[in-house]
Amino acid sequence: MRWIGIRVRRHWEWGRAHGFRRLIEEDQLNPLERVPLALRKRRWRRTHSVAPAAVPVYLVGVQRSGTNMLVRGLERSPEFEVRNENDGDAFERFQLRPDPVVRDLVMRSGHRYVLFKPLCDSHRVDEILDGLGTPSPGRAIWAYRDVDGRVRSALAKFGTNNLDVLTEIAAGRGDHRWQARGMTAENRALVESFDYSTMTPESAAALFWYVRNSLYFERGLDQRDDVTLACYDRFLADPDRNMRALCAFLDFPFDASLAAHIERREAPERRPLEIDPEIRRRCDDLAARLEQVPLT
């Protein structure tokens, strides 16, 4: 009950600050959209069921990186079954249930694709791809956005959560947390090197961006043809082009409706956030590496 209370309060505060209309849209709570979509998916399953050969797709990365935008687009196709992180059959407190449970969900699905959003399991997506054992091999999408945009969004949604968690990890009390899993010895030493009594929430959220996005290279995902990047900022600049590239990666026909909900716009010119210089340097270097990776 305490966990539910925290979630409800956090959603209420975010809705008051940014508008409940945005909250309904982000969490896909509008029944005028949900009901017709569910009916379309049901009709598709009846006439096109591919069970047990559905393709599992894992949308991973760092929270507040545009993953909801991608889910909204792909979910519009009746060929996709979406298992979001609040789906109790696939997740427990935002973490994937054991592999046999996930495998069973995929093999029982009548859809062509089953889209999971296991952001808290991003550190082991390579293990899931290699070890789930579904008839159709899985694919993964690593979503990311610029560090300043992610920091602003994370602070608006989660407040000081990144600062609180990194403080706990640095003190040796956070090994049980998903945020500490997959962290290399080098990044663990980096996290422990800062004074969290003086660190700002902005710097902590940027450090978290760095540590989690580093996993993309540390786990060798850049060398795999079953993993692709999806850049939130590029999607905003050219929704159709980037959705077309994502569909090509999934071997799925592009349709303009998949990107119709994305408002095309250039990144706003904002003053960079005040972030610890060492953290800023590392984030800039990692962002440059990500930019050099082809998105298909």
At 268, the pLDDT band (50, 70, 90 cuts) reads: low
At 266, the pLDDT band (50, 70, 90 cuts) reads: confident
- For the stretch 38-90, pLDDT in tens is 888 888 888 888 999 999 999 999 999 999 999 999 999 999 999 999 999 99
Report the pLDDT value the prediction gives residue 14, as an integer from 0 to 100.
Answer: 47
At 35, the pLDDT band (50, 70, 90 cuts) reads: confident
- Please tell me the pTM assigned to this model: 0.88
The residue with greater pLDDT, 50 or 31, is 50
pLDDT for residue 24 is more than 50: no
Report the pLDDT value the prediction gives residue 38, as an integer from 0 to 100.
Answer: 83
Which residue intervals of the chain bear CATH 3.40.50.300? 50-291
Mean local confidence (pLDDT), 223-242: 96
- For the stretch 153-197, pLDDT in tens is 999 999 999 999 999 999 999 999 999 999 999 999 999 999 999
HEC string for the chain: CHHHHHHHHHHHHHHHHHCHHHHHHHCCCCHHHHHHHHHHHHHHHHHHCCCCCCEEEEEEECCCCCHHHHHHHHHCCCCEEEECCCCCCCEECCEECCHHHHHHHHHHCCCCEEEECCHHHHHHHHHHHHHCCCCCCCEEEEEECCHHHHHHHHHHHHCCHHHHHHHHHHCCCCCCCHHHCCCCHHHHHHHHCCCCCCCCHHHHHHHHHHHHHHHHHHCCHHHCCCEEEEEHHHHHHCHHHHHHHHHHHHCCCCCHHHHCCCCCCCCCCCCCCCCCHHHHHHHHHHHHHHHCCCCC
pLDDT for residue 233 is more than 70: yes
Report the pLDDT value the prediction gives residue 37, as an integer from 0 to 100.
Answer: 81
- For the stretch 246-257, pLDDT in tens is 999 999 999 999
Report the pLDDT value the prediction gives residue 107, as an integer from 0 to 100.
Answer: 97
Assigned token pair, 128: 């899931």
Give the chain's mean pLDDT: 90
> Residue 69: which of 213, 227, 231 has the closest Cα?
231
Report the pLDDT value the prediction gives residue 294, as an integer from 0 to 100.
Answer: 81
Quick one: 50-291 is in which CATH superfamily? P-loop containing nucleotide triphosphate hydrolases (3.40.50.300)
Report the pLDDT value the prediction gives residue 3, as an integer from 0 to 100.
Answer: 46
